[in-house]
Each structure stands twice: as structure tokens, then as C-alpha cells.
Amino acid sequence: MTNFGQTNQTGISTTVEDISNPSGSSVLFPLKIVEYLFLAAFICAIVISYTLPEIQIAKIYTAAFLSIWLFVFLIDKNLFNNSRLAATQSKFAKRAEIYHYLSVNNNPLENNPLTPARANALQYSQELIDDYKNIRSSSRNIYYTLQLATVIFSGITPILVLVDKLEIGISWFKWLPVIFPAVASIVASIVTSFPFQENSVSANTTVELLEAEQEKFILGVTEDYRNYDVEDATQSQQKAKQAIENFIVRVNNIHLNQVQGSAQAKSKDQKTEPVQSAESPKLTQEQS
């Protein structure tokens, strides 16, 4: 059992090392230092060109340092994106391997052809989770910003009305008691017209559902994802394939329910209104 666990751990670590070491990661840190050095040189050249305008060569150095800094910055950004992508892929590879090492028929890493498929399924669900997290944060920030702006503009308006009675000689100051309430009403209308808070809450719910479903799929804790107790290798392989299919279907259902939620709510509201209007004459007849 000890040798078997060491073999499994060696397989996982080898895969992680192969994926998480891109060609540009070894020069990422020195390149960042070079970028900061050229940025500092560019700032120094600007200071010298403005403080000592008689030194004409300082302007040439400023343009040169700026060009080199932009070039290094773009290369560093590209390498950083590649390194982050490799780190994400290594994370999905590790999480996809957990399922195979928990099964009864535990095979070496190279004999698990379903590992890339499981990693792609996890990456697909993680992309949806990241999108809904962005929606959650942006909707929440916009909602609180607009609410704060409404409170500020509404609170300043009475103060401006009192100050206007002091007969200040500034002509444009008299328009402020009119502009601030108008801005407050516009901001309040935007908050009520667009469901920023509802979008934030629904996106948060979707994120929690997707993350819970992802963990169930990784650990195989439900019947749809479990093949631990299957001793036959062929049946275990088929059940593992079915688990990937079930996971994709569940993730798509969660995503579609979120997308169609607002449309279904509107359709329900439209259906309830005619029913109430149709039932009202019957109620009046029964009462009479």
C-alpha cells in the first residue's frame, strides 16, 4: 500500500510539474525586474527633462525608455497570462485525478484516458463560475454605488436650499438646488428600473450551486458520479464516462435555469393577471 501510494503521488506530481512549468515562467521574475527598472528610468528622464530643459538629450532618453518599457511590459503580460493559464490547467488536472485514485480499480495515471475529459469538464464549469462571479461583483458594486449616490444627492439638497437663502453672489450656485434633486431622481429611477440587486443575488445562488456540483463531481459523493464500489474495470470505465455526461447535463441545467429565470417570472406574471380578471366576474355573480 505504501509503494502504491508513492506511485500515485509520483504520477500526480510529474503531471503537475509538466503542466505548470511553461517555457516563459523561468524568466518571468527577472523580466518583471527589468520592467520596473525601465519604468523608473523613464520617470527619472521625465523629471530631468522638466527640471533641466537645457539638456536636450533627456527628451531622447525619455522616448527611448518609454518605448523599451512598453515592449518589456507587453512581453511580461504575455508570459504572465501563459503562466496563469498553465497554473489553471495544472489545478484542473490534479482535481480530475482525485476521482481515479479513490476508485477500487486504481490504475496508474497514464492508463486513465478519462482524465483529460474530466479536466475539460471541470474547466467548463469553472469558466461559468468565474462569469457568474463577475456578474455578482459588478451588479453588487453598481447597486451600492447608485444607492449611495441617491442618499448623498438627496441629503445635500436641503442644505443647498438653505444656503441659497443666504444670497450668495455666485450665479451658477443657484442652479445646484435644482440639479441635485434631478440627479437623485435619475439615479433612483436607474436603481428601480434595472434589477442590479436581484442579479447579484441570483448570480450568487448560481455560483454556490455550480461550486457544490463541481465538488460532488470531483469526489463522486452522489450516485450519479460514484463508481468506487464497481469491481469490474469495464463497468467502472462506463460509469466514469456516464458521470462526466451527468455532470455536464447538471451544469447546463443550472446555467439555463439562471438564464431563463427572469423570462419565466415575467410569463408567470402575465398569466396570473388574466386569470384574476377572469375570476372577478364569477365572484361578483356568486356574491349577488
Mean pLDDT, the chain, rounded, equals 74
Give the pTM.
0.62
How is residue 82 written as a grid cell?
A: 501563459
The full DSSP string for 241-282 is HHHHHHHHHHHHHHHHHHHHHHHHHHHHHHHHHHHHHHHHHH
Question: Alpha carbon of 181 to those of 86, 161, 163, 178: distances in Å?
Answer: 52, 11, 15, 6
Give 135's contacts (C-beta < 8 A, 6+ positions apart): 199, 200, 203
Nearest-angstrom CA–CA distance, 191 and 266: 19
Mean pLDDT for 259-277 is 56
pLDDT at residue 172, rounded to an integer: 73
How is residue 138 written as a grid cell?
A: 459588478
| 12-26 exposure pattern, b = at least 16 Cβ within 10 A, e = fewer | beebbeebbebebee
Rg value, the chain, Cα: 31
Nearest-angstrom CA–CA distance, 70 and 78: 12
Give the whole-number percent of the chain exceeding pLDDT 70. 71
Residues 230/236, Cβ–Cβ less than 8 Å: yes
**Tens digit of pLDDT for each residue in 182-229?**
888 898 888 888 888 888 999 999 999 999 999 888 888 888 887 666
Which one-letter amino acid corresponds to residue 83?
A: S
Nearest-angstrom CA–CA distance, 118 and 123: 9
Q: Which of 48-52, 85-89, 183-187, 264-268 has the lowest mean pLDDT?
A: 264-268
Mean pLDDT for 241-247 is 88
Nearest-angstrom CA–CA distance, 224 and 246: 7
pLDDT at residue 100, rounded to an integer: 62
**Tens digit of pLDDT for each residue in 45-64?**
888 877 877 777 877 878 88
**Tens digit of pLDDT for each residue in 120-166?**
888 899 899 999 999 999 999 999 999 999 888 888 878 777 766 66
pLDDT at residue 6, rounded to an integer: 40
DSSP state of 24: T
Nearest-angstrom CA–CA distance, 240 and 112: 11
How many CA within 13 A on the CB side of residue 187?
19
pLDDT at residue 284, rounded to an integer: 41
How is residue 149 written as a grid cell?
A: 449616490
